[in-house]
Structure 1
Amino acid sequence: MIQNEHVTYYIDQYKKGEILFNEERKQLVEYLENYVLLLDNVFFDEEKIKNCIKYIDKYFFETQPFQKFLIAFVFLFEQETLPDGEEIISPYFNEFLITLGRGGGKNGWISGVSNFMQTPYHGIAAYDISIVANSEEQAKTSFDEVYNMIVDHQLFKSSETPYEPFKISKTEIVNLDTRSKLKFNTSNAKTKDGGREGCVIFDEIHIYEDSKMVDVKRGGLGKVPHARTFYIGTDGHVREGFMDSQKNRALAILNGKELEDRLFPFICKLDKAEEVNAHVNYQKANPMFHPPLCKYAHVLFKEVHGEFKKLRYNPNGRSEFMTKRMNFPEVDESKVLATWKEILATNREMPDVSQRMCIGGVDYATVKDFAAVGLLFRKGEEYIWKAHSFVREEFLKKSAIKAPIREWHEQGYLTIVDEPSIHPTIIVNWFVEMRERYGLEKVIMDNYRADLLRPYFEAAGIEVEVIKNPRAIHDLLHPRIETIFANELLILGDNPLMRWYINNVAVKVNVSTGKREYIKKDEFTRKTDGFHAFLHALYRADEIVDFDIDEAFDLLDALDF
């Protein structure tokens, strides 16, 4: 097994019980020791590691053990021999996912590493680096830190300092020896094409709704040796977005399912929500709190612990504290339809429901944006919901919705309609097609678009039932919905669109009547149509008989009258 002093020291701290690791970091150690460090063709570039740490210690801040540990793997290399005998050396890990609690120094660390990679110590000419974030303010966080360091240490070329290594402006930092540029961009996939970067850094990735912008910016990699990508950030409340996809990818690596994936997953978080009650566990989410604490960590720890103590008097701040300080997204369960864990539990294989009895549900609030349809089946105590949606192209172009709608269209979860409206025939034709495969009894809808839709359903020979007071069924069905999610009785298959719909629902309690109503968490960026279509069908779920129509006819044929 190959070794590096900083890697050995950090892992030994954990194994001796001197510091606490969360489960993902425990798995990381096992993955490294069982798979990576045993390889014959990998090696640590000790000189680059030493120089990078010395550079950051001198010009930025004193590096902590976990930061040295990370630097070591930035400069872990793989040596390969081509058939013609030529040797190639490249970074073993070319992508890094670094997610930890706010204040953990991820921006400071990437500032120091990125600036070092501009220098001759890194040894690659024209190794351009882009820092990308959702806002200019965030994109400039690390850029400004490098800029200020160069100014503070008088390392920029000017009439007074004509021989210094950097040329700087408010938008670009250039190392004059290597011609390597450091720039920042905002995340706009339509206008920011991939260039010839050696490295791209994506900041605050919890906001990214999909991978499109990442794919565009990474498109320029590979033209410069030793290409690397860094994804950094603290978790957030956006689900089914880029952060979740990267966490799923990381877990596949840590579980030994994707051993050829060259992503280095460094995930720091609480393992359980209740761990926050013992402040010794803060270090699971923020490795800056590993003892002994440096001066910066000592001050930060007092701030974080003070914030936790205030939650006793301001419980509404708990969700933000858990998400940002503990890297453990948490919501007020009294205000949400279901927890994310309960929503994920719907991702189970769809049973065969062909020719089984079902009730249809539709939500068609406006013909100008979304329409949702679905079929509700029952097998024993379980509910099976087969869903689809329709979205107008023109609406997508103008909306502020943060979800990978076009990806879901390509995957078949919804259909983008490039027409002036979502015409009733589109809705009805879906049910007509489903009637050929399943035992569709009738379709339930609310009264908002009933007059528009009913004639088309009747013309197709499909029975329709209209809920006259749709809001009234929210409180009526709430106990059943709580039971369904708490006991994991809903099967959606792997349907990210339905998970998104459900996660967008908030529960509002009328203070005067105590009755519950289902609303959107955010009126402009969330849609809940798919959930309401399910809710309409659930209203008549007790009418669904759990039997196979073909089996029933076979039984009748077998009877001797």
Structure 2
Amino acid sequence: MKIPAYVTDYIQAYRDGKIKFNKERVWLVEYLEQHILNREDLYFDEDKIEKCIKFIEKWHFKLELFQKFFICFIFLYKSNGNVFYRRFLFLVGRGGGKNGLLSGIAHFLMTEFHGVPKYNVSIVANSEDQAKTSFEEIYDAIDLSKKQNTTLHKAFATNLQKIQSRATKSILRYRTSNASTKDGLRDGCVIYDEIHQYTDNATVRVFSSGLGKKKDPREFFLGSNGYVRGGYLDSMLEKALGVLKGMFPDSNLFPFICKLDEADEVDDTDNWQKANPMFELPLSPYAETLYETMLDEYADFDDASVREEFMTKRMNIPEVDESKIIAPWEDILATNRLMPDLSQRMCIGGLDYASVKDFAAVGLLFRKGDEYFWKTHSFVLRNFLKKVKIDAPIEKWEKDGLLTILDDPTIHPTVVVNWFTEMSKEYGLEKVIMDNYRSELLRTYFEEANIDYEVIKNPKAIHDLLHPRIETIFSNHLLVLEDNPLMRWYINNVAVKVNHSTGKREYIKKDEFKRKTDGFHAFLHALYRADEIIDFDVNEAFDMLDALDF
């Protein structure tokens, strides 16, 4: 394979120590050299690469070496003439020129130089303003051409909703991520902007379903890191790491990921190029201005909120004030481990039923030595989901059996009590712990079902009492949930509020309406009586009693 100079020059600049790579880009080079650049069944279309670079530099801006490196792989083809990479993850720190680069690429792909007729492009984002960013950059470039009496504007017809190439009839549109209204698309390329805000893959599924009807379909996923955990970005990063580690050498995903390797690297500004390759020397005028702006932000690092935003957005390494959260995301992810067989094992039930008009959570807490096992389910009203946009894939979680969506006007107590009744047939349910908010409503139903219960009269008081145990459980990875993204979501939605006059902690929601914590509080209630759990098999205990000769 003949390798473009832009690829070899970029790799050599790293090896010569002229620029710094984060470990994901080091892995990218290793993956490319071991699995891609040595193949004879692939080839770079250097003519298109050169035309794309020249087009962008003539009508948009001068490209940096890392951008030219990235462009090369857009035009990597199989021997049958089809593109090798169909999906591109471009994750760089804020200010890294994501939108500018993709504006130029999208503009080029519509032209006769790319050579695919009716190669429509959609730019997708959560908000119209964000979706219009690249669209307006292309529109402005064409408009400037008209004012300067150059030729670009003659090649495109424009209005404020779409841009069309006169030669290829390719159309560029911007769209919001309201996935339900986009069926029947016939795009050649889709650009997903700010993917860290996507809670699930619904938007991508709809838009990607319109691909494949045009030659050389491509999808570009752009973003910096964000605060949505367990969302689409996290799942894509997991796939990308598999590619970078060489696990999927024939994958059609090209992952270009820039971030700090460790948080303390931020204190050496020379490391900033790991997260933002715009800072690779020599600095452009744009990079010099950006550098000065970021120095001002860095100077305010004593403000925890400034540091959190800088690390998450600028350095692509999510950081939160750990004094204000239950646990770091890595420790929450560590709950994804297989449970042992818990049939007929003794357990304590937990219930959070603060409102009958939105969510309710139930669960069983088991214990073996220092480890805790939590089996849980939730109920949510459909009417509530229609009124409040929850930033979570509720319908998918229902399909996965993690929750039940109810069409009733309220969550009736029988729904909750029936769940515990069914569970008591398989597990050794000792009793159910609940707070006092709905206890009067539930008492009769638990008594009729012959299920013991206990009411916590002051539920907020147990928050500070249990906080040391909660910290120990998560930091030492003592909680097992199996693969339960709903429960991980509940936990990640909890904020720790400290009463500065008493020093006591209280668990509150990060967002009162959109971030539910019911599953965590149900777990908390059960944990209040966790010391009463004895790890034994109920059937075995009865067998032993039967064997005794009185």
TM-score by length of 1: 0.95
The residue number in structure 2 matching 1:119 is: 111
| Mapped pair 1:212 → 2:202 | yes
Alpha-carbon shift at residue 555 of structure 1 (Å): 4.7
Shift of 1:128: 0.8
Structure 1: give runs of 5+ residues left out of the alignment. Answer: 81-88
Partner amino acid for 1:547? Answer: F
Give the AA of the match of 1:279. T
Question: Which residue does 1:100 correspond to in 2?
Answer: 92
Which whole-Å CA distance do the structure 2 matches of 1:265 and 1:194 have between them? 28
Distance 1:208 1:194 in 2: 21
The CA distance in 2 between the partners of 1:543 and 1:520, in whole Å, is 29
User: Which residues in structure 2 correspond to 1:28-427 (within 5 Å)?
Assistant: 28-80=28-80, 89-154=81-146, 164-312=154-302, 314-427=303-416
Query: Does 2:467 match 1:478?
Result: yes
Identity across matched positions, percent: 60
Q: Is the 8 A contact 2:142 2:152 kept in 1?
A: no
| Cα distance in structure 2, aligned partners of 1:446 and 1:556 | 35
TM-score normalised according to structure 2 size: 0.97
Measure, in 1, the Cα distance between the counterparts of 2:305 and 2:437: 35
Distance change (3 Å), C-alpha of 1:11 and 1:194:
farther
For the Cα contact (< 8 Å) 1:2–1:38, is it kept in 2? no
Does residue 10 (structure 1) correspond to residue 2 (structure 2)? The answer is: no
What is the deviation of 1:550? Answer: 3.5
Secondary structure, in 3 states, of the residue corresponding to 2:181?
coil
| Whole-angstrom distance in 1 between the partners of 2:30 and 2:268 | 26
Tell me by how many angstroms 1:384 deviates.
0.8
CA contact (8 A) 1:126 1:179 kept: yes
**Deviations 1:516-543 (CA, angstroms, capped at 9, x unpaired):** 1100001121000000000000000000
User: What is the distance in 2 between the residues matched to 1:542 and 1:140?
Assistant: 56
1:457 and 2:449 aligned? no
Q: How many residues align?
A: 550
Distance in structure 1 (CA, Å) of the matches to 2:4 and 2:41: 15
Return the offset for 1:553: 4.1
Name the CA distance, whole Å, in 1 between partners of 2:155 and 2:168: 9
Partners in 2 of 1:545 and 1:319 — Cα distance? 42
Q: Which position in structure 2 is the counterpart of 1:84? A: none
Assess, with a 3 A threshold, how the Cα gap between structure 1 residues 555 and 292 changes in structure 2: closer, same or farther: farther
Secondary structure in 2 matching 1:237: coil
Report the Cα distance in structure 1 between the residues aligned to 2:59 and 2:201, rounded to whole angstroms: 34
d(CA) in 2 for partners of 1:109, 1:139: 15
Partner of 2:533: 544
Letter of the 1:196 counterpart: R
What is the CA distance between 1:400 and its match in structure 2? 2.1
> CA-to-partner distance for each residue in 1:162-187, whole Å, 9 max, x for gaps?
98211111111111111111111111
The one-letter code matched in structure 2 to 1:66 is F
Aligned equivalents of 1:15 and 1:425: distance in 2?
Answer: 66
Q: Distance in 1 between the 2:38 and 2:151 partners?
A: 48
Q: Matched residue of 1:184: which SS?
A: strand
- SS for the counterpart of 2:365 is strand
Q: CA deviation at 1:154?
A: 2.3
Deviates more, 1:367-376 or 1:294-303: 294-303
Larger deviation, residues 367-376 vs 286-295: 286-295
- Greater mean alpha carbon deviation, residues 62-71 or residues 292-301: 292-301
Contact 2:146 2:153 in 1 (8 A): no
User: C-alpha separation between the residues in 2 aligned to 1:303 and 1:370?
Assistant: 44
Task: Check the 8 A contact 1:360/1:443 in 2, yes or no.
Answer: yes
Deviation, 1:305, is: 2.1
Residue 154 of structure 1: SS of its match in structure 2? helix
Range that drifts further, 20-29 or 231-240: 20-29
Q: What's the RMSD between the two structures over aligned residues?
A: 1.8
Deviation of the 1:560 alpha carbon: 6.6
Secondary structure of the residue aligned to 1:190 is helix
Per-residue CA shift, 1:293-351, capped at 9, x if unaligned?
A: 22211221121122112223x33311111111111111111111111111111111112
Q: Distance in 1 between matches of 2:361 and 2:247?
A: 35
Q: Deviations over 1:129-182 (max 9, x none)?
A: 0101111111111111111111112299x9x97982111111111111111111
Q: Which amino acid aligns with 1:254?
A: L
CA distance in 2: counterparts of 1:400 and 1:5, whole angstroms: 49
CA distance in 1, matches of 2:224, 2:43: 30
1:386 and 1:12 map into 2 onto residues whose CA distance is 52
Opposite residue 110 of structure 1, the aligned amino acid is L
Q: Conserved in 1, the CA contact under 8 Å of 2:145 and 2:153?
A: no
Q: Secondary structure at the match of 1:230?
A: strand
- Secondary structure of 1:401 counterpart: coil
DSSP-derived class of the 1:67 partner:
helix
Task: Please say if residues 155 and 166 of structure 1, whose CA atoms lie closer than 8 Å, have aligned partners that are also in contact.
Answer: no
In structure 2, C-alpha distance between the alignment counterparts of 1:162 and 1:218, rounded to whole Å: 30
Rounded to whole Å, the distance in 2 between the matches of 1:287 and 1:353 is: 51
Corresponding residue SS for 2:71: helix
> Match of 1:506?
495
Distance 2:321 2:380 in 1: 30
Partner Cα distance (1:244, 1:487) in 2: 23
**Is the 2:304–2:321 contact (alpha carbons within 8 Å) kept by the matching residues of 1?**
no
Distance 2:18 2:525 in 1: 55
